[in-house]
Structure 1
Amino acid sequence: MTGHAWETTALTNGIVRGAAELEVTSRGVLPHRLPAWARAQCDDGQFAMAQSQPSGVRLAFRTRATAVELETVPTKRVYAGAPPRPDGVYDLLVDGRLTDRGSVAGGDTVHLDLVTGAAERRSGPSGTLRFAGLPARDKEVEIWLPHDETTELVALRTDAPVRTSDCAGRPRWLHHGSSISHGSNAESPSTTWPALAAADAGVELVNLGLGGSALLDPFTARTMRDTPADLVSVKIGINLVNSDQMRMRAFGAAVHGFLDTIREGHPDTPLLVVSPILCPIHEHTPGPSAPDMAAMAEGRLRFVATGDPADVAAGKLTMTTVRDELARVVAQRAADDPHLGYLDGRELYGERDAASLPLPDELHPDAATHRSMGARFAELVFRGEGLFAERVGTGVS
């Protein structure tokens, strides 16, 4: 830090964007994407980890600073039998352009066993990420936190004063989905498909993509109901299939209930229902999904579908039956809800895409697919006659 007169800026909701709540800890603040009352209603470990991973959460401010430091305590995940995970990536954007990237070593670790579900947490030290050589002019600075790494914020230091970002004036897009919306296998936090679509459309993203946890939970619907938003979307299906937690009789009613709750807080807001992207292993085969142990033995993470297609007749869910039911529910509701829309997820990733860009682990898209999905969503939804186009000024006049 030699040569700089550093200023420390309080890490508040005015600086930290995209989080539902900032929990004060002994070391700093921990961003959560669901509020405490919602977290208290579910003690599932996967859910707790997913909502604490700050997908879409970023520090945003205006400054003339040429150097910025961010001290954090990341939480690294170590999976038994799987190859080591890379450190989480922080993206630096200056005036909306990706300018630099970095990672923070050290921090806490959680050791996980995918087979038994056992988890062990170990504490570690904080680390500091430094970006230097920024242009010496007034500018918009964003630091996107790792989308897949729980990140406790300790301190933000700059060599010039910081003031509130202009991003709060943009239309606010609230999105909920599974690990694909969360950003699994994306290159970095600002290149998940929702982040790319939001940047393309010039809207502010609030990402409630929750890896393994898009299960039509009532507390998620109530959180969305109570979250200010100009645009709302829900991507429903894959987690209900690959966790095998619901049958068709419950599914349709649960979708209605989820949408009813959102509508209590957003009665006239454009609301888009998105069905699952193509997932070949689950198109006609129910869940649950399970790790492929032979692949694990070779150091590769891959999933297989373990359900029986014959059980579909008894109500087990597949990608195909979920899409059919979602289309039916939306069509039924749309008669009385002119601001409700439906998008078949295969328009974002379908059979032609699977031929050229197969899902690496059979469930999650790779970085290139995130980019194409983000571009397609922006084109289909934010432009032309898309459901969100009128609210962001990109519709056909």
Structure 2
Amino acid sequence: MITVPIHPDLVRGAIELEETATGILPHRLPAWARAQLADGQLAMVESQPAGVRLALRTAATAIEVDTIPTKRVYAGAPTRPDGVYDLVVDGELAGRGTVAGGRTLMIDLGTGSFELRTGEPGTLRFDGLPARVKDVEIWLPHDETTELVALRADAPVAPLPRGERRVWLHHGSSISQGSNAATPTGTWPAVAARLAGVELVNLGLGGSALLDPFTARTMRDTPADLVSVKIGINLVNADLMRLRAFTAAVHGFLDTIREGHPTTPLLVVSPTYCPLHEDTPGPAAIDTTAMAEGRLGFRALGDPAEVAAGKLTLRVVRDELARIVAQRSDTDPHLRYLDGQELYGAADYDELPLPDDLHPDAAAHRRMGERFAELGF
């Protein structure tokens, strides 16, 4: 086996690569942005490499990757499975694997506390690959922080050439990051990107699609041929702002993106269907009854009567986003709106309900990706 330096040209989908004492840690927000908000939830999810993959051109028949994963353990919740790595050869799924061990992040959702425990690297091996020059992608787990330690192959490796596909830059919530999807290529943005033949940069940030200015500036500064933003569910379940602030924040977010992408096609996507918050404002909280049953679930704590005072629900958000896009479209012909219910609506909920009351399951992710490939592009 040949040891291959993990050069930045071999990594796709990351915004920044941090050199650590043991390897390279992909990030989906730059260091200056991470420094602007001391939020444990954001720090966790931006380091989870949704959409990040090693992208190689090689004749190797065997490839090994050493990584240090960070496993999440939620107090009182069932044990989570190990994160999944997907092997894609010439555009087709060719294998899957996991890496045991690594670090452990202990999370208490009741108190909001985080405790990180150290651990050792593990090895992922794919062998039996075709003995010819081929394009190989190894997609890192979308929901498990993964430090890259070493890469080995039994033949020379080169990075995949850039510029062969259009780049799609997308920002959204945990649904866009891939919560409850089973695999990294099974998240709805990954499904849509494969069907549309585009290169994905996924800035889906679980619990953190909050119209943060640093996220908008990151998108402004990231090269892209297509840009989309999915706005709403986190603002409702965090009960972060009222309608007056929401309207101004959406305009400001889009203004910032347009500073770097003045004529790039820009799609605003409203929330998918979620009965929990269709007419009931946030905040959302852990459902203790569900926890007692051994499953993760959520409930809404707001009062529908508070909507009159400016509290946000998903219906309010959809109506306002549609109005904002219609207004801005008069001077921005490259801007348009997609109702998230066209990706996952009430009829889909009847067939494929949300297992934790917030996030679609693996089958629903596939359906959303297929629909976005048709409607979004």
TM-score using structure 1 length: 0.94
Distance 1:47 1:284 in 2: 27
Distance 2:349 2:25 in 1: 37
* Residue aligning to 1:65: 60
* Residue aligning to 2:311: 316
* Residue aligning to 1:27: 22
SS of residue matched to 1:375 = helix
Amino acid at match of 2:123: T
Distance 1:75 1:30 in 2: 11
Q: How does 1:156-305 map to 2 (within 5 A)?
A: 156-166=151-161, 168-305=163-300
Q: How does 1:43-54 map to 2 (within 5 A)?
A: 43-54=38-49
Q: Quote how far apart the aligned CAs of 1:167 are.
A: 5.2
* Residue aligning to 1:328: 323
Q: Quote how far apart the aligned CAs of 1:254 are.
A: 0.3
Distance 2:162 2:348 in 1: 34
Aligned residue pairs total 377
Q: Is 2:367 aligned against 1:372? A: yes
Distance 1:68 1:292 in 2: 43
Distance 2:105 2:193 in 1: 31
SS of residue matched to 1:169 = coil
Q: Is 2:137 aligned against 1:151? A: no
Distance 2:259 2:5 in 1: 34
Amino acid at match of 2:201: V
- The answer to whether the 8 Å contact 1:172/1:204 transfers is yes
List, as ranges, runs of 4+ consecutive aligned residues in structure 1 with deviation greater than 3 Å: none
Q: Quote how far apart the aligned CAs of 1:8 are.
A: 1.5
SS of residue matched to 2:8 = coil
CA offsets, 1:342-383, max 9 Å, x none?
00000000011010001000000000000000000001122x
Q: Is 2:74 aligned against 1:79? A: yes
Distance 1:197 1:166 in 2: 21
CA offsets, 1:283-333, max 9 Å, x none?
000001111001101111010111111111111100000000000000000
- What do you get for the CA RMSD once the two structures are aligned? 0.6
Distance 1:210 1:167 in 2: 25
* Residue aligning to 1:388: none
Distance 2:71 2:109 in 1: 15
Amino acid at match of 1:356: E
Amino acid at match of 1:112: I
SS of residue matched to 1:282 = helix
Q: Is 2:95 aligned against 1:90? A: no
* Residue aligning to 1:103: 98
Give 1:55's match in structure 2, choosing from 32, 50, 55.
50
- The answer to whether the 8 Å contact 1:167/1:204 transfers is no
* Residue aligning to 1:137: 132
Give 1:112's match in structure 2, choosing from 95, 107, 110.
107
- The answer to whether the 8 Å contact 1:174/1:231 transfers is yes
Identity %: 73
Q: Is 2:32 aligned against 1:37? A: yes
Distance 1:167 1:222 in 2: 23
Structure 1 alignment gaps of length 5 or more:
1-5, 383-397
Distance 1:255 1:365 in 2: 25
TM-score using structure 2 length: 0.99
* Residue aligning to 1:9: 4
* Residue aligning to 1:355: 350
